[in-house]
Amino acid sequence: MIRINEMILTPLICIFFVILGRADLMLIISSCISTFRSWSEWIEYQELRILIQQMYLVCMATGGPFIRTNDNEYLPYVFADAVVRRGIHRQGSEAGRPQEEHETHSQ
């Protein structure tokens, strides 16, 4: 509700007061600033949402994430791992794949 108020209702109220001749300069400036800030945050949120959706789809196309975590701090790295693996898989050459190192255990 706060987002709708700042994005839509505040500019409409400001325009209404300007038409009536009751708006002062501070009302107009504060209304414009809050409206601009709200719309720019909304647009940034939508762009990030689309980017995350694309990363999720790429991750699903590779067969799911190869590493798993429930920690929100590391989730971007899980998706990044899947996206990088998808890019390597698209190249179609084995030369682009990283070589796995064989672990040796000495006691």
Torsions phi, psi for 42 (to 5 deg): -65, -45
Percent of the chain with pLDDT over 70: 69
Radius of gyration of the chain (CA): 25
Structural domain boundaries in the chain? 2-94
What value does the mean pLDDT take over residues 7-17? 93
Rounded to two decimals, what is the model's pTM?
A: 0.58
Angle between helices 75-91 and 25-61 (to 10 degrees): 50
Residue 68 confidence (pLDDT): 66
Q: What are 59-88's pLDDT values in tens digits?
A: 777 676 666 667 777 777 777 776 776 666
For 82, which DSSP code?
H
